[in-house]
Amino acid sequence: MNRPDRFQLSVDDYIAYRRDGYIIIRNLVSQEEIAEIWQHTVDLMSGITVIEGVEPPPGDASEEERAQHFLRVHMLHRKHELHERYLLHPRICDVLETLVGPDLLALQTMLFLKPSGREGQGYHQDSYYIPTYPDTLLGSWLAIDRADEDNGCVLVTPGSHYEPIYPDAGRLSQNHVIGSMHDLATIEGASSSVPEKNGLTPVAAKYESKEVPAVMDPGDVMFFHGHVLHRSLSNTTTDRSRRAFVSHYCNARSWVPWNHGMPFDGPSGNHLHILARGSTHIPYALPKFGTPCDALDPGSAQTGVQPWTGDIVEMEAKQVAKGIVVARD
């Protein structure tokens, strides 16, 4: 997609991502846009903005209770135009297109609110939760507030994206063929904030001296590989949130048997996810709120594949509310 304001990575940026499994682009999103998202989070937390399927804080809640009501909210791009718009943000997609494209499928949004006092999340690998075939998952992490070690920034382990996905006993064949690696151990407790309970702790120990805090200012965006080991610290401040808008994507020619825990029709869920850039041989969804993206120009797709229409649209409408997960503890 050629635009006068297109963001272009440097060759060194590209190499750094391939080497480390992540890269932070400073000031990728404007401060005017950050102010818009910031106000949206305030309105959501205060109950001024009410979104179907998201229970607002009680009307008589105190300011502190309102601040603590939400920890994170998932998949609101299917319910609110702002979330769709930032999922498909042109400059974010410029970077993604370079790293994993040219064909880009937009899969998931998460609004992290992380008020003061909330604990972090333990070591995990995102491709464990969102499988893609071929495995092309990557995420973007847009800072709304400043994120540092005091209010619970992400800690990322450079080079750990070369690790395989470590499965639990129930997902032995999800990411790798059973028997393809004779010493691939199963683990339990991925994402647990208690190191002794998190099966990825011994894996992370191999990189202990390399782990770095992703200190970010509002408007900075971190892009990270689906295999890279990362975790977040607790928010130990008394007066600061650590808000972020996090999204996941993959190459649009990957098969994606995933729909955020919701059932889907057929062998994959691709037809429920938006084609952000390029073309694909697999059916895809249109942006519900009309955010500009390549899905709205199917004639430009090299394969001539059209967006999924018909019965699936009706089915998706019934499932959208189930696809919103609001975590409060």
pLDDT tens sequence across 5-43: 899 999 999 999 999 999 999 999 999 999 999 999 999
Output the pTM of the full model: 0.89
> Alpha-carbon dihedral of residues 45, 51, 53, 56, nearest 10 degrees?
30
What are the φ/ψ torsions at residue 68 (nearest 5 degrees)? Answer: -95, -5
Residue 304's pLDDT is what? 46
Residue with tokens 């850039």: 277
Which of 10-14, 101-105, 270-274, 311-315 bottoms out in mean pLDDT, i.e. has the lowest? 311-315
Question: How many of the other CB atoms lie within 10 Å of CB of 291?
Answer: 23
Residue 324 near residue 73 (C-beta atoms within 8 A)? yes
pLDDT at 55: 85
> pLDDT grade, residue 319 (50/70/90)?
very low
Alpha helices for the chain (secondary structure H): 11-20, 31-46, 63-69, 81-87, 90-100, 201-205, 311-319
What CATH code would you report for 11-327?
2.60.120.620
Say if residue 236's pLDDT is above 80.
yes
pLDDT of residue 197 exceeding 70, the answer is yes
- What lies within 8 Å, CB to CB, of 9 at 6+ separation is 25, 95, 98, 99
Query: Which of 63-72, 270-279, 293-302 holds the top average pLDDT?
Result: 270-279
Other CB atoms within 10 A of residue 155 CB:
18
Q: Are 140 and 249 in contact (CB under 8 A)?
A: yes
* C-alpha–C-alpha distance, residues 284 and 108, integer Å: 14
As a whole number of angstroms, the distance between CA 134 and CA 120 comes to 30
DSSP assignment of 59-117 equals TT--HHHHHHH-SEEE-GGGT-HHHHHHHT-HHHHHHHHHHH-SSEEEEEEEEE---TT
User: Which pLDDT belongs to residue 108?
Assistant: 98
